[in-house]
Structure 1
Amino acid sequence: MHSLLSRLNAIVAFSFTVLAGLTFLCFLTTFAKNYATDVRVRDLTGRVNIAYVNGLGEVEEAIITGDIEVDLSHLFDWNAKQLFVYLIAEYSTPAKPASQNQVVLWDRIIKRGENAKISQRKFSQEYRFLDDQKALKANSNVTLFLQWNVIPNAGALTNVRGIGSQSVGMPDSYTPLRSSKRA
């Protein structure tokens, strides 16, 4: 006969197998869901100046401001625990295409139950926008777009790019920034 411990082990192993199977089946219910939505990024203005950064030397620093409007509340279903939303600036240089020059300017974490409507006027950058190739001045195609990760309860992390982007042309001359001596 089997001992009590071996029977208990068989019951626990079977229970975990059933739970794993049910979790996978639940994940399949949201696997093909389209998490894309329309985003409005507008009224963009950009300024560029020379800044000194320890370890990099003289670099160009850009400040971009504008408005963001998006409603992400419909993205929350039973499997979405939270959203990690971030604004990306993408630009090309003579040495690299745009897909290799991406800078995160702003981000936000939205948990289930929180207000998922973002309506931010004149957003301020949270992170510095630096370029060591000095390719920002007079760059006419700096594109901003919103992207988010849907963090699930079960399954794969989904990375979604919002529908709609906006380009901003950088000025031809340097503009003094509020504080270009930040390290």
Structure 2
Amino acid sequence: MQEKKAETGSKNAKKANLLDHNSIKHILDESVSEIVTSRGYVEDVRLSNVRLFLGTIIIVIALFAQFYKKKFPENRDFLIGCIVLYIVFNGLLQLIIYTKEKNAILFTYPPAGSVTSTGLVVSSKLPRFSDLYALTIASADPKSISAGKPVEFTKSVTQWLTKDGVLVEGLFWKDVVALIDDYSAEPKKNK
């Protein structure tokens, strides 16, 4: 029954390869991003821009080291400097990914007209060889006064995907919107 609804409901149905957990996670994460941004949250791309900038610096350093005019014995000190800079900037990039990004799929600004001053961090996990998809919504600034408690759910992907790998968007949309509403309602309960 879900299979027919998914096929007839949308001409551009999202389909995942059920044998590839990365394909399933990608489809679900993409849908979560669409749902969150449709609820009035604007994506915050500052961290992505910092990562791109650091990656560009790393590439430029590697290009300088590769195409420097002098040959090896003469450019030894220059190459050592490039290697050190490459390691430093790459370490910085990895530190940002490890400490800030973690499993995040989306960072947002607060919605327009909202009383909260923080956006959201939406994170997901789909462990290899598991069908349990975990979705977490937390504050982008957990130390802020207006930060809500993180909310999450863990459900089997079989609830949202047909046996052909087509995403039943209505069911998934309902679960994600309920999670967003739970997060939004959290500060009001504390007052």
TM-score normalised to the size of structure 2?
A: 0.24
Task: Indicate the structure whose relative CO is greater, using CA pairs within 8 Å and at least 6 residues apart.
Answer: 1
Q: Which has the higher strand share?
A: 1
Higher helix share: 2
